[in-house]
Copies of this chain bind each other. A is one copy, B any other.
């Protein structure tokens, strides 16, 4: 018997999130979720020589922290699934070097946390592995200098721009142990509404979010009210508003149970403009606040959908528009 309908897989064996960890930078630590993160760094460089080395150290700490929180030893991890925003996802790959475990590199831009959880849940549900670690990381300073301008230039940010969160999150999946479980995963399609403005990622990613969300509701015959929370990863203020409008056009009203991690991570006074972004943004909030609230059964069923913009500087220089993608997982307890 097949385990999927349309783009959505239902996991019969209920892969559980038995461990989780989050680590963020000082700015994120001063935001709304500050007290929920497991670790707030003293400085953005994390006492390393470069921001890239700091980013690698962050995902290493997220992985080892999550393994510890699951009560396991590193050698018990059968597979490490990770990705990040840097060229050739060096943060993830170099972190994997430090842990002597099989590794699969992923690239889904800011959708990576959901992508890794979706793939990892298949591996666990199908009993292909016993214990899988899923992680991602992003860093404001590495992203700025790779995708935009050297920080030293002090460029002004346009009002539609988002702030790449310095953050990392990791989840450990297994059938053994306790924790909320991943009940479903919806794999997204690349969607492009022709946005060319690299300073408006929310607008570029909202159509992909709509596409995956509509597919999810259709495949599972559910509606927004069936979830305690519908959480998007990093559409930001304008992107979330576009998503709400697009969904209404499709006949789905996203109510007060809808929220966006990018919009929530910083306080207004921190001037994040449209909010946070970067794959670590929603990964760190999911792996702290949301999983804790699921554990305490404050929420019983959430839909977590991370969205990614699949552009590169080369693609943009060659006149390409910005394609988006969104993957979703349903987590229950």
Contacts and interface: CB of A to CB of B under 8 A. Distances in A.
Interface in A303-332: 310-315, 318, 320, 323, 325, 327
A188 interface: yes
Contacts of A94: 310, 315, 320, 323
Interface in A177-217: 187-192
Number of copies: 2
Contacts of A128: 3-4, 9, 122, 126
B106 A105 contact: yes
B1 A105 contact: no
A64 to B, nearest CB: 16
Contact of A89 (B50, B102, B107): B107
A311 B90 CA distance: 7
A190 B325 contact: no
A93 B4 contact: no
Contacts of A123: 122
A314 B127 contact: no
Given A310-B88, A314-B86, A318-B53, A102 B7 contact: yes
B107 A106 contact: yes
Interface in A127-161: 127-130, 146
Contacts of A146: 314
8 contacts: A1-B127, A4-B127, A9-B128, A83-B105, A88-B311, A105-B107, A105-B108, A125-B126
